[in-house]
Chains A and B, each alone.
Chain A
Amino acid sequence: MSFESLLFQAVNGFASASGLFLVAAGLSIIFGVTRIVNMAHGSFYMLGLYLAVTLAPRLGEVFGDALGFWGAILGAALITAALGALVEVLLLRRIYAAPELYQLLATFALLLILSDATLALWGPEDILGPRAPGLTGTVELLGRQLPDSDIFLALIGPIVLIVLHIVLTRTRFGRLVRAATQDREMVAALGINEAVLFTAVFALGTGIAGFGGALQMAREPANLALDLSVLGDAFVVVVIGGLGSIRGAYLAALLVAEVKALCTALGIVEVAGFTFNMSRLTLVAEFLVMAVVLVVRPHGLFGRPLPPAARRGDMEAPLAPLGQRGRFLVLAALALFAAVPLFGLVSSYAPVLALDMVIAALFAASLHLLMGPGGLASFGHAAYFGLGAYGTAYAATVLGLPTPLALGVGIITASAGAVLFGWFCVRLEGVYFAMLTLAFAQIVWSIAHQWEEVTGGSNGLFGVWPDAPFDSAGGLYLAALAVTVLGLVLLRRLVFAPLGLALRAARDSRLRAEASGIAVEKVRWLAFAVAGTLCGAAGGLFAFAKGSISPEAISVGRSIDGLVMVLLGGVHSLMGPLLGAGGLTLLQDMVMRESPFWRGLLGLLILALVLAFPSGLAGGLRRVRSTP
């Protein structure tokens, strides 16, 4: 590899950094003022690109190519900003006082809705935009041809950075944004209308994201996968740079883009006799950078610890052991589930659906240990599901181990992963914890995707069938039910055991828990390991149930499903995740078969539920029951 090609990649890195920065800057400003992590932020980027490729040819017919192209970019940015303002007024304004997790859920529902709205409006095909008029040539640099458009993009990032800096430091709006980022209440007490400020900030943030998307018109086609991929990148950049810091976001975007470019430039390297393809690392590079930065600087390069958030929403009632009636209900439900194979005589589909529900219940309940009693929202629980599933599948197919042993291998794999990743994660809290868990899940996903020799690459591993007596639908189902019930009993015992008490104490007040002698990080690490282990069991069962495992099944969507299950059911109750898992599985099964727009419908339903029951289904039921 020559110095020239390294330089070439470095310029390319600057161009990518601009795109990353535009999305991350908007996300960061919105979070700073409203304290909402906008899960739908990537959707506004995607919409910006779709709008631009749609507007450009139409405007081009009227005003000529050049005006059409640049007019389309401006128009797309303005429309996304207006859409952002609308979303803020109609949705976010109602949930500022809701618990953080429900805000995440609501904006995630928005992501689902916008994704399907885009599908409905523009169809599933990628759409290519026109090339940038006037930027179709190349510039020669050290014997290499660099496209004009890349140089233009490389410059846009610093330009926006400077403009934002001027707006934030020199204008009244900027002063308001900085003041509100520190203390919203005090801003209101000075007679400033927060509602208008919040709408403006949200419009600004989404407008910048739309602008960033529109700028990519000449570089990449508009496609439906952009929202999630851009969101993941933006999270990483914002977390590395420090939430709320604009220059941090730019530096982080540059760091990530350059590390990726370096991996590409290095190509295949030989280290101690091993050949290693560095370009394969591009997928995990940003997450590795993030993991390193967060371990050294837990709040990112330029971030500061957030002021401790006042506990919002309903105060949690202490967990109570089941009464006699509760025990009866649980036994009745258990008996019903155990009898499912008998229904199989009537409907052959019943045991299949019930198996999905049982696996989902174990998955959601293991996540709930972290989210409910632990107060730690993991956005990467799919990692342990994946490790369990791949471990099991590998043991069953390649090693040819009998079913129970293969499941054991999967559980141990997940457990090892949880112990390793957990050590890093439990050092962080809140949004940073969520982002680091997401990062580790992406690493696991990338490994599954790229380590073809072991994981089968994008095809995954198949032919993972259980052997007798688990090879019938009923046999596998009963085994899965047994494993799940064991797992649930263990989780429940744990929550009421001293470890569970310590975990809940650390959630309610970390300072007080530490002052009374609880080693908070150790307790959380142990809980993380237990949650990962049980999640691995769910993953192993999943591999047997489907007969295969592929990277798609352990993508970020799986982690989000888990979050939705726990949040729908309610974090404040041990029954919550079970209700949520059952509900979501049924719903996905029913809605998915009815409509190509099932994600959007699911999003609408989640929004309706969040607005109607801000404390989850289980909490809503409790409230309905307690009001005479």
Chain B
Amino acid sequence: MSTLAPLLEMEGLDAWYGEAKILFGLSLQVAPGEAVALVGRNGAGKSTTLKAIIGLVRRRARRLSFGGTDLIPLPTHAIARLGIGYVPEDRRIFTELTVRENLDLGRRPPRPGAGRAAWTLEAVFELFPQLGDMRERRGGQMSGGEQQMLAVARALIGNPALLLLDEPSEGVAPIVVEQMGRALARLKATGLSLLICEENSDLCAGLCDRVLRIEQGELRGPAPAPPP
């Protein structure tokens, strides 16, 4: 558990999907450089938690801030620009665009004082060599694992301080899961914070500092960090 001030602070988060209320008073924190796993059954509200942070669902909270900035009133693109990268469920690659074009859309200048080298095309291709071999391939012609790497790379090239990962091992071959695990460990070592929805304990083992369990839209099990 880090002693630094938390990067992401969430207190009493309620969220809705259409008319249906999905999250009930969720509270959690992610410290700089910390990796936190959210686990829970299908429909428990893991994905919705990530979507609520990035602003893709209607939500309300006593507090939802990132680096001290209140996220609630901000539109999605402004939240992303604060330094939150989002790797969605089903990857949501732009299938009509090539690998290079997908990455180009994700590119953001590094924020001042980030304290690490900015991500470049070459740097993400070094992390995921397969992508470097298929720069001009269309997203729609890639395998699930390749798309997953592209989704992570597309988020990284925006130079985030926090990466939200929704089921990064879902529908992906075991060998790719291993590779993804190594890549995420390397990212964590650079000081990047991770919030991962994950059922695959192999991926989280050795990577995640804490595991939080969501059931029916509420946090259960291992308690969130006590308020500072």
Residue ID in chain A nearest B94 by CB atoms: A179
Q: Which residue of A178, A192, A315 is within 8 Å of B96 (Cβ)?
A: A178
Q: Which residue of B lies closest to A183 (CB)?
A: B92
Interface core residue of B77, B78, B106 (most chain A CB under 10 Å): B77
| B212 lies within 8 A of chain A by Cβ | no
Query: B158, A191: Cβ atoms under 8 Å?
Result: yes
Instruction: Evaluate contact between B95 and A190: CB separation under 8 angstroms.
Output: no
Residues of A close to B154: CB separation below 8 A: 190
Residues of A within 8 A of B95 (CB): 182
Q: Are A186 and B88 in contact (CB under 8 A)?
A: yes
Is A190 in contact with B96, judged by CB distance below 8 angstroms?
A: no
Taken residue by residue from 95 to 128, chain B's Cβ proximity to chain A (1 for < 8 Å, 0 otherwise) reads as 1110001001110100000000000000000000
Q: Is the CB of A175 within 8 A of B54?
A: no
Q: B106 contacts which of A188, A190, A315 (Cβ < 8 Å)?
A: A190
| A62 proximal to B (CB < 8 A) | no
Query: Which residues of A are found within 8 Å of B108, using beta-carbon distances?
Result: 190-191
Q: Contact check: which of A178, A188, A195, A310 meets B80 at CB < 8 Å? A: A188
Contacts A189-B54, A190-B106 given; indicate if A178 touches B94 (C-beta within 8 A).
yes
Q: Does A325 contact B (CB under 8 A)?
A: no
| Residues of B in contact, count (CB < 8 Å) | 25
Residue B189, interface by CB 8 Å: no
In the bound complex, residues from chain B placing their C-beta under 8 Å from that of A626 are none
Q: Which of A183, A190, A195 contacts B158 (CB 8 A)?
A: A190
Give bound CA distance, A191 to B76, whole Å: 7
Judging by beta carbons under 8 Å apart, are B19 and A190 in contact?
no
| Docked complex Cα distance between A191 and B54 (Å) | 10
B81 interface hit (Cβ, 8 Å)? yes
Interface residue? B221 (CB, 8 A): no
In the complex, chain A residues 149-195 whose Cβ is within 8 Å of any chain B Cβ: 172, 175-176, 178-179, 181-183, 185-195
Q: Is B205 an interface residue (CB 8 A)?
A: no
Q: Is A311 an interface residue (CB 8 A)?
A: yes
When the two chains form the complex, which single residue of B18, B92, B101, B105 contacts A192, counting CB atoms closer than 8 Å? Answer: B105
CB of B174 within 8 Å of the partner chain = no
Mark B122-161 against chain A: 1 for CB-CB distance below 8 A, else 0: 0000000000000000000000000000000011001000
Q: State which of B75, B80, B101 has its C-beta within 8 Å of the C-beta of A175.
A: B101
| Inter-subunit contact B88/A179 (CB<8 Å) | no
Which chain A positions have C-beta within 8 A of B158?
A: 190-191
Please pick, from B18, B75, B81, the residue contacting A311 in the complex, using a CB distance under 8 A: B18
Number of interface residues of A (CB under 8 A): 22
Complex Cα gap A179–B93 (Å) = 9
Residue B225 lies at the interface, judged by CB distance under 8 Å to chain A: no
Complex Cα gap A26–B158 (Å): 31
Chain B nearest CB from A372 CB (Å) reads 19
Please name the residue on chain B nearest to A314 by beta carbon: B19
Those of B170-227 within 8 Å (CB) of chain A = none
**Can you name the residue of chain A whose Cβ is closest to the Cβ of B160?**
A191
Asked if B5 is at the interface of the complex by the 8 Å CB criterion, the answer is no
Per the bound structure, the CA–CA distance linking A189 and B101 in Å amounts to: 16
- How many whole Å from B100's CB to the nearest CB in chain A? 10
**Most A CB within 10 A of own CB, among B19, B54, B76, B154:** B76
B18, A190: Cβ atoms closer than 8 Å: no
Q: How far is A193 from B76 in the complex, measured between Cα atoms in Å?
A: 8
Q: Are B77 and A191 in contact (CB under 8 A)?
A: yes
CB closest chain-B residue, reference A197: B77
Is the C-beta of B66 less than 8 angstroms from some C-beta in chain A? no
Complex alpha-carbon distance, A176 and B158, angstroms = 15
Closest to A178 in B: B96
| Residue of A172, A185, A186, A192 with most chain B CB atoms under a 10 A cut-off | A186
Residue of B nearest to A188 (CB): B76
Residues of B within 8 A of A193 (CB): 75, 77-78
Q: Give Cα A238–Cα B168 distance, bound, in whole angstroms.
A: 39
Known A-B contacts: A186-B88, A189-B86, A190-B80. Give 6 more (CB < 8 A): A178-B97, A188-B77, A190-B105, A190-B108, A191-B81, A191-B108
Residues of B bordering A, CB below 8 Å: 18-19, 54, 56, 75-78, 80-81, 86, 88, 92, 94-97, 101, 104-106, 108, 154-155, 158
Instruction: List 15 A-B pairs, Cβ < 8 Å.
Output: A175-B97, A175-B104, A179-B94, A179-B97, A185-B76, A188-B56, A188-B80, A189-B56, A190-B86, A190-B158, A191-B77, A191-B81, A191-B158, A194-B75, A311-B18
Q: Which 3 A-B pairs have the closest CB atoms?
A: A191-B80, A188-B76, A189-B86
